[in-house]
Structure 1
Amino acid sequence: MTDASRYPLLARPHVNLNGSVDHAMVADFRSQLAAAPAEGTLVVALSTLGGDPEAARLIGDEIRLIRDYTGREFLFLGKVAVYSAGATLMAHFPAEKRFLTRGTRIMVHERQLTTDIHLSGPLKSLPATLKAKLNEIEESIRIEEEGFRDLIAGSNISFDEVEKRAPANWYIEAEEARELGLVLDII
């Protein structure tokens, strides 16, 4: 175990995000960020069973823009569950800026899609409908792979390992996440 006093900022996160990752969480993030101190390191804490990966990417991109344009440091603190879209958000923080509380689990899996394809109309128009759905799937796979690469950057995990384990919902306990270099430490 780690002496939490080494990381005093983590005791009182500036932004606390809990629940489903969705557009309500994006709004909550923006509201809490606006109320946070204007200078210094900011801590973003997250506990989620998952949700919309694009909402997670939006929050992550807003953090990246602030970091890039102001030089502000952001720290990530995962609490209890950092599942699915939560891991997508965590991937927007460098591995050396990520922390987990004791007992926290990260869950990494492939993006999911449930869809029906309704074909109706002139035969010559139907291939475009099918190509559009195929393009959606292929682009989603590329986005997923980008996210996996961001998640494992700076860690001891290979991309092949993520691809092998993600289809079966890969649960990573806090200690293992630290050993793998996914997070800097556990508090």
Structure 2
Amino acid sequence: MTKTSNATNYPLLANPQIQLHGPVDNFMYENFKNQLANAGGDGPLVVSITTLGGDPEMARAMGDSIRLLREYTGRETLFLGKVAVYSAGATFMSAFPADKRFLTHNSRLMIHERIMNSTVQLSGPLNTLAPVLLAKLNEIQDSIRIQDEGFEALVEGTQVTIEELKSKAPSNWYIEATEARARGLVLDII
């Protein structure tokens, strides 16, 4: 049985001006900035990504560039997720309004909580230990605030509640393209 495609409804998505793939890291960020600089300033900007995840701060930095472009120029920005939009890829996706997001057939999103690997070394006079622990606690609490801001942006304008997302994120929530469309996380599938 042949799948019918509605890709012809969205001809702009056929040739994204920015195409990203691989881990979300400094290299992807540099690649993104170079492609953005060469994308020209006319018409909608289409950004595609395929990623198994990476650095959420690099994803947020790319997302801020997209947000600023929209706010300063009024240029329409469209997101196209291909195959896998995991972890930091979903963080990047959250920079686009839900009605400007698309996935290709058989793509999946994966959303999870931020992960921290850290060891706290306590050594020294007792009066010096509490500030070390407090600094780590502050880091954790601020990371949770940043994570929650991203979660709120991701579900804004969708049928997914922040409570549902927060309940599913700790165990890696995988969402197939059809469910993402049904829940309003993306506008459509091409």
TM above 0.5, one fold? yes
Which residue does 2:127 correspond to in 1?
124
* C-alpha contact (below 8 Å) 1:51/1:85 kept by paired residues: yes
Which residue does 2:160 correspond to in 1?
157
1:121 deviates by 2.3
**2: CA distance between counterparts of 1:128 and 1:24?**
35
* C-alpha contact (below 8 Å) 1:2/1:185 kept by paired residues: no
Which residue does 1:104 correspond to in 2?
107
Counterpart residue identity of residue 13, structure 1: P
Give the 5 Å matches for 1:6-21: 6-21=9-24
1:2 deviates by 4.3
**2: CA distance between counterparts of 1:3 and 1:21?**
29
Residues 1:94 and 2:97 are matched in the alignment: yes
1:21 deviates by 0.3
Give the 5 Å matches for 1:1-187: 2-187=5-190
* C-alpha contact (below 8 Å) 1:19/1:47 kept by paired residues: yes
1:122 deviates by 2.2
Counterpart residue identity of residue 9, structure 2: R
Counterpart residue identity of residue 156, structure 1: Q
**2: CA distance between counterparts of 1:146 and 1:64?**
14
Gaps of 5+ in 2: none
User: If the length of structure 1 is used for normalisation, what is the TM-score?
Assistant: 0.98
Query: Percent identity over the alignment?
Result: 59
Gaps of 5+ in 1: none
Counterpart residue identity of residue 137, structure 2: L
Total equivalences in the alignment:
187
Encode CA deviations 1:80-136: one digit per residue, 9 max, x unaligned: 000000000000000000000000000000110110001122221111110000000
User: If the length of structure 2 is used for normalisation, what is the TM-score?
Assistant: 0.97
Counterpart residue identity of residue 15, structure 2: R
Q: Secondary structure at the match of 2:186?
A: coil
